[in-house]
Amino acid sequence: MRNGVYLTLILFLGVMGYFVVNGLYLDNSIILASVIFLVVSLVISYLTTHFKKHMDLSGAQKFINVAYITLFALYGIVIGLTVVNSVIIESVIVRFGGIIFLSASVILLFGLMIFMKQKLLKGM
């Protein structure tokens, strides 16, 4: 049962995180958006790596987890690269927000790698 709660929390945090971060990004609050993305990414990575080891997840749960976290990480990479490489934005602080987006995406991908190693590649 705990794995289902973790998966639900991951999905909920991802959806809410996307809407909050995207809203802040569109309002040009890039630093706040990047910090919230980092916090959400840390929580999602924590939940992803702490699924119960003695309970097997169904194939659908594994697919949803991998696909969802990959999309969320790709969103962070695209936003991060857009902010870092933006010609219009010349502020060093705003570019630092892009670096935070990229760092959070790396954290997500690292958590996903650990999840895949534990749950998908355990028979190899």
pLDDT band at 101 (very low <50, low <70, confident <90, very high): very high
Q: In whole angstroms, give the CA distance from residue 40 to residue 44.
A: 6
SS3 of residue 124 by DSSP: coil
**Mean of pLDDT over the chain:** 85
In this predicted structure, what is the pLDDT of residue 54?
57
Answer whether 113's CB lies under 8 Å from 47's CB: no
Q: What is the mean pLDDT of the segment spanning 94-104?
A: 90
Q: What is the pLDDT of residue 87?
A: 66
